[in-house]
């Protein structure tokens, strides 16, 4: 990596990058201990119900898997590739897996915590409420997919290809969108296509969140739910 990419790097610059990586690893290990040690204590004291024990075990396993996935991702950037002329980089597939796993872990932990802290609303199961719930789940999946596409942008440095918006250069649809063969490879390995997809998914996510907010205004909802939908719209616009 030093010979082919950063041969002019000073010792101070190397230390800065090294400490960033070291801090990330140490922080991950602290997060794991902060989760696993109290979970073991609560389990031993008998404070966990049977369903909660299953969830705690699953989350503990996901914490360990996340660390393993991080090592597997970094390993891909250190492998010698004599037949490749590309700059050394981690695999965009492993980067997306690492990010996706982190999002699942964070969301599951937050959901579990809120389920214990806040009582579940008992609302009448109307057709409108069912549609709102389905639409919220669909919007969640779209946002998750958008975040994963961002990992492919980062992994391929695809953000450096075009820096204009909403057009990409002088065109709405760039010429090299489907330059790779087979066509499916473009979605994951063509920097232009990866950036294009991320833009489309981002716009679609903001549109979906806005539609979810407008639809929720037509339904009588508890204050807490209304605050959540409004906060979601605010964060989407900020993002």
What per-residue confidence (pLDDT) applies to 87? Answer: 67
Q: Residue 168's beta-bridge partner residues?
A: 171
pLDDT for 103: 96
Burial (CB count within 10 angstroms: exposed 0-12, middle 13-18, buried 19+), residue 191: buried
For residue 81, is pLDDT > 80?
no
Q: Residue 157, by phi and psi: left (phi above 0), alpha (psi -120 to 50) or beta?
A: left
> Which H or E run contains 230?
helix 223-238
At 142-183, the pLDDT tens digits run 999 999 999 999 999 999 999 999 999 889 999 989 989 899
The two structure tokens encoding residue 194: 């990866």
For the cut 90, the answer to whether the pLDDT of residue 52 exceeds it is yes
**pLDDT-based confidence at 19, cuts 50/70/90?**
very high
Per-residue pLDDT, averaged over 188-204, amounts to 96
pLDDT score recorded for residue 126: 86
Can you give the pTM of this predicted structure? 0.86
What is the distance between the alpha carbons of residues 138 and 233, in angstroms, rounded to a whole number?
Answer: 15
| Average model confidence (pLDDT) across the chain | 90
Q: How far apart are CA 153 and CA 169, in angstroms?
A: 17
78 or 161: whose pLDDT is higher?
161
What is the C-alpha to C-alpha distance for residues 140 and 137, in angstroms, rounded to an integer? 5
Rounded mean pLDDT of 24-50? 93
The answer to whether residue 27 scores a pLDDT higher than 60 is yes
């Amino acid at each position: 990596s030093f010979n082919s990419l950063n041969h002019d790097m000073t010792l101070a610059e190397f230390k800065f990058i090294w400490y960033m990586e070291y801090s990330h690893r140490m922080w991950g290990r602290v997060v794991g201990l902060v989760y696993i040690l109290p979970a073991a204590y609560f389990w031993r004291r008998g404070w966990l119900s049977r369903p909660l024990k299953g969830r705690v075990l699953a989350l503990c396993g996901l914490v360990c898997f996340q660390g393993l996935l991080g090592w597997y991702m970094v390993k891909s950037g250190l492998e010698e590739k004599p037949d490749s002329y590309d700059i050394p980089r981690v695999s965009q597939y492993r980067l997306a897996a690492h990010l996706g796993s982190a999002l699942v872990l964070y969301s599951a932990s937050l959901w579990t915590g809120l389920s214990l802290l806040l009582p579940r609303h008992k609302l009448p199961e109307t057709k409108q409420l069912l549609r709102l719930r389905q639409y919220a789940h669909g919007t969640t999946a779209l946002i998750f997919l958008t975040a994963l596409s961002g990992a492919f942008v980062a992994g391929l440095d695809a953000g450096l290809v075009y820096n204009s918006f909403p057009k990409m250069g002088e065109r709405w649809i760039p010429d090299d969108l489907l330059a790779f063969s087979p066509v499916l490879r473009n979605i994951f390995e063509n920097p232009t296509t990866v950036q294009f997809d991320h833009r489309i998914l981002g716009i679609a996510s903001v549109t979906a969140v806005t539609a979810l907010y407008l639809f929720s205004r037509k339904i009588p909802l508890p204050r807490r739910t209304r605050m959540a939908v409004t906060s979601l719209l605010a964060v989407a616009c900020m993002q």
